[in-house]
């Protein structure tokens, strides 16, 4: 199986399979080069300007209709921002007030910060906040807020839409950094907190609450697990759920990469690393921002470390990817020493996000440029193979840079639309103004949820319960769709050339499509899912 770029109904990467099916949910598959899609926004970029000098992006969400919600935080007014744009990068005026929802306060809480967003299956949004009471500046406590798909606060969640999460009796100030929504709509969240008696020392925390915002009594101690390390600079940054449902909590410990693994109930997995905890200072590791998992269960950590080489722009940050085995030790199969530190910009680069392609290659989004504001920061996109080696089919050195025309571009989130195009979302600044930005790149990706197969005389492409067939023979081909019980649900005839068939409403699941080809019967297994 290999990937190539060919025209079908649209231009996609194709998995070539000889008389057998390539099926399943495909995440990405990248062609040579990445091009800005200039049909998106203005010349490939969406830019939303604010008069305030400090507005940052906190995340982005792709909705089922491919609309994009960009979340941000206005530090000048301590204001939550949610902007929705169309799939083509224009303001969606039907959302909130002229495309934007702003939330400034709750009756009982002051909003200090927002660092994370996640989306439920029904399109509702969970955002992670740091809040403190009106009558006191401490303690600062992690708080979740829920918005419905229209951008309205869901008053059934927590208390009037806000759910405070108790961390510790000794909490002085807590920072919530990431959210992950599990399949049963339970909400995992993580961050770090200061000890009231020693505010210079931070500790990890991870928690889980029920879909209504109340603590999950079956996770840790009434929904919270606190993790103590020997060290002062401890910050939990990211949650990742593995294929086997074990939970990874990643961050930094004394500027080293640190990872803790838990089971479903929040108990330490002592089979992982050193009693459930891993840390490393390889390549002067500094900031861990993302975690992913390859098909062979290799764990990939991405962030950046301090480069101490002899080049003109050293020492500055460079992308750092670390590979771990399931046992929590450096993988000897990843790069040369279990890690790869590389430059994805002119002098500085910081990896912020990861995606794993269907071919097991690693897509990394981030930012890079000149140090200390001596030049514009650009969005960076790089790719490595499963062994941690840069793939030079992207750019000349395994990466490409994109510039919005603003001074400092920072990529926060890397995600995909249903047609497989890459969306990079972040923030930028210029002349005292702040911007929330988004860029779309066309890399010829197979879209998530698609199935594509080829045979000697036919090609089948399915998406969203629609089947596309290219019949390269000169005769009609009879086709039948069967359910798992072998019952015929839908029959049609595919004439020579390209045809499209909209299926009746069907439950999600596996189906079999049969084609009576001139050379014999061919069957294909198809997965239809929302």
**Rounded distance between C-alpha atoms, residue 345 and residue 506, angstroms:** 48
Average pLDDT, the chain: 84
pLDDT of residue 359 exceeding 70, the answer is: yes
Q: What is the 3-state secondary structure (H, E, C) of 416-432?
A: ECCCCCEEEEEEEEECC
pLDDT confidence tier of residue 22, bands split at 50, 70 and 90: very low
| Residues carrying CATH 2.130.10.10, the chain | 35-442
| Residues carrying CATH 2.60.40.3080, the chain | 3-25+449-528
pLDDT of residue 338 exceeding 70, the answer is: yes
User: Higher confidence at residue 372 or residue 350?
Assistant: 350
CA angle 125, 128, 134 (to 5 degrees): 120
pLDDT confidence tier of residue 17, bands split at 50, 70 and 90: very low
pLDDT of residue 345 exceeding 90, the answer is: no
Tens digit of each residue's pLDDT (9 = 90 or more) over 252-308: 998 899 999 999 999 999 999 999 999 999 999 999 999 999 989 999 999 999 988
The answer to whether 510 and 527 are in contact (CB under 8 A) is yes
pLDDT confidence tier of residue 217, bands split at 50, 70 and 90: very high
Confidence at residue 27, expressed as pLDDT on a 0 to 100 scale: 29
Confidence at residue 139, expressed as pLDDT on a 0 to 100 scale: 79
Tens digit of each residue's pLDDT (9 = 90 or more) over 38-77: 999 999 999 999 987 799 999 999 998 899 999 999 998 8
**Rounded distance between C-alpha atoms, residue 114 and residue 145, angstroms:** 10
Q: Which of 326-340, 408-422, 474-488 has the lowest mean pLDDT?
A: 474-488
Assign domain 35-442 to its CATH architecture. Answer: 7 Propeller (2.130)
Q: Which of 47-61, 80-94, 394-408 has the lowest mean pLDDT?
A: 394-408
**Rounded distance between C-alpha atoms, residue 253 and residue 234, angstroms:** 5
Q: What's this model's pTM, rounded to 2 decimal places?
A: 0.78
**Rounded distance between C-alpha atoms, residue 129 and residue 131, angstroms:** 6
Answer CATH for 3-25+449-528 from 3.40.1190.20, 2.60.40.3080, 3.40.640.10, 3.40.50.150: 2.60.40.3080
């Amino acid at each position: 199986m290999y990937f190539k770029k060919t025209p079908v109904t649209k231009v996609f990467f194709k998995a070539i399979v000889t008389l057998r099916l390539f099926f399943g949910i495909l995440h990405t598959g990248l062609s040579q080069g990445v091009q800005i899609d200039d049909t998106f926004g203005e010349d490939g970029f969406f830019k939303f300007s604010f008069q305030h000098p400090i507005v940052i992006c906190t995340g982005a969400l792709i909705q089922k209709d491919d609309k994009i919600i960009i979340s941000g935080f206005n530090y000048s007014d301590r204001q939550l921002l949610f902007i929705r744009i169309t799939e083509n990068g224009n303001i969606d005026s039907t959302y909130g007030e002229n495309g934007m929802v702003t939330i400034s306060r709750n009756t009982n809480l002051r909003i200090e910060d927002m660092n994370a967003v996640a989306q439920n299956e029904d399109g509702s949004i969970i955002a992670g906040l740091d809040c403190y009471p009106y009558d006191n500046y401490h303690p600062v406590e992690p708080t979740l807020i829920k918005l419905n798909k229209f951008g309205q606060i869901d008053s059934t969640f927590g208390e009037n839409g806000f759910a405070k999460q108790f961390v510790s009796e000794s909490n002085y100030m807590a920072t919530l950094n990431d959210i992950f929504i599990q399949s049963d709509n339970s909400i995992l969240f993580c961050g770090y907190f200061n000890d009231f008696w020693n505010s210079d020392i931070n500790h990890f925390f991870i928690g889980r609450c029920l879909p209504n915002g109340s603590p999950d009594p079956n996770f840790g101690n009434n929904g919270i697990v606190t993790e103590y390390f020997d060290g002062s600079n401890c910050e939990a940054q990211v949650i990742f759920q593995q294929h086997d449902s074990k939970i990874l909590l990643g961050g930094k410990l004394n500027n080293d990469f640190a990872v803790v693994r838990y089971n479903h109930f929040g108990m330490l997995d002592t089979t992982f690393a050193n009693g459930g905890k891993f840390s490393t200072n390889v390549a002067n590791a500094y900031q861990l921002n993302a975690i992913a998992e390859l098909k062979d269960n290799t764990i990939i950590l991405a962030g950046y470390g301090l480069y101490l080489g002899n080049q003109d722009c050293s020492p500055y940050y460079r992308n750092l990817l670390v590979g771990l085995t399931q046992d929590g030790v450096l993988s000897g199969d990843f790069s040369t020493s279990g890690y790869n530190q590389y430059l994805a910009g002119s002098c500085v680069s910081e990896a912020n996000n990861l995606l794993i392609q269907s071919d097991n290659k690693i897509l990394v989004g981030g930012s890079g440029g000149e140090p200390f504001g001596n030049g514009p920061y650009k969005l960076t996109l790089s790719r490595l193979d499963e062994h941690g080696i840069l793939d030079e089919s992207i750019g000349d050195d395994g990466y490409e840079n994109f510039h919005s025309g603003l001074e400092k571009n920072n990529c926060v989130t890397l995600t995909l639309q249903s047609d497989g195009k890459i969306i990079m979302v972040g923030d930028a600044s210029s002349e005292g103004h702040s911007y929330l930005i988004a860029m779309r790149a066309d890399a010829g990706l197979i879209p998530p949820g698609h199935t594509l197969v080829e045979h000697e005389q036919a090609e089948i492409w399915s998406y969203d319960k629609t089947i596309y067939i290219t019949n390269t023979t000169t005769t009609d081909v009879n086709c039948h769709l069967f359910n798992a019980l072998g019952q015929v649900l839908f029959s049609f005839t595919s004439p020579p050339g390209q045809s499209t068939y909209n299926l009746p409403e069907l439950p999600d699941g596996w189906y079999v499509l049969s084609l009576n080809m001139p050379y014999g019967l061919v069957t294909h297994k198809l997965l239809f899912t929302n």
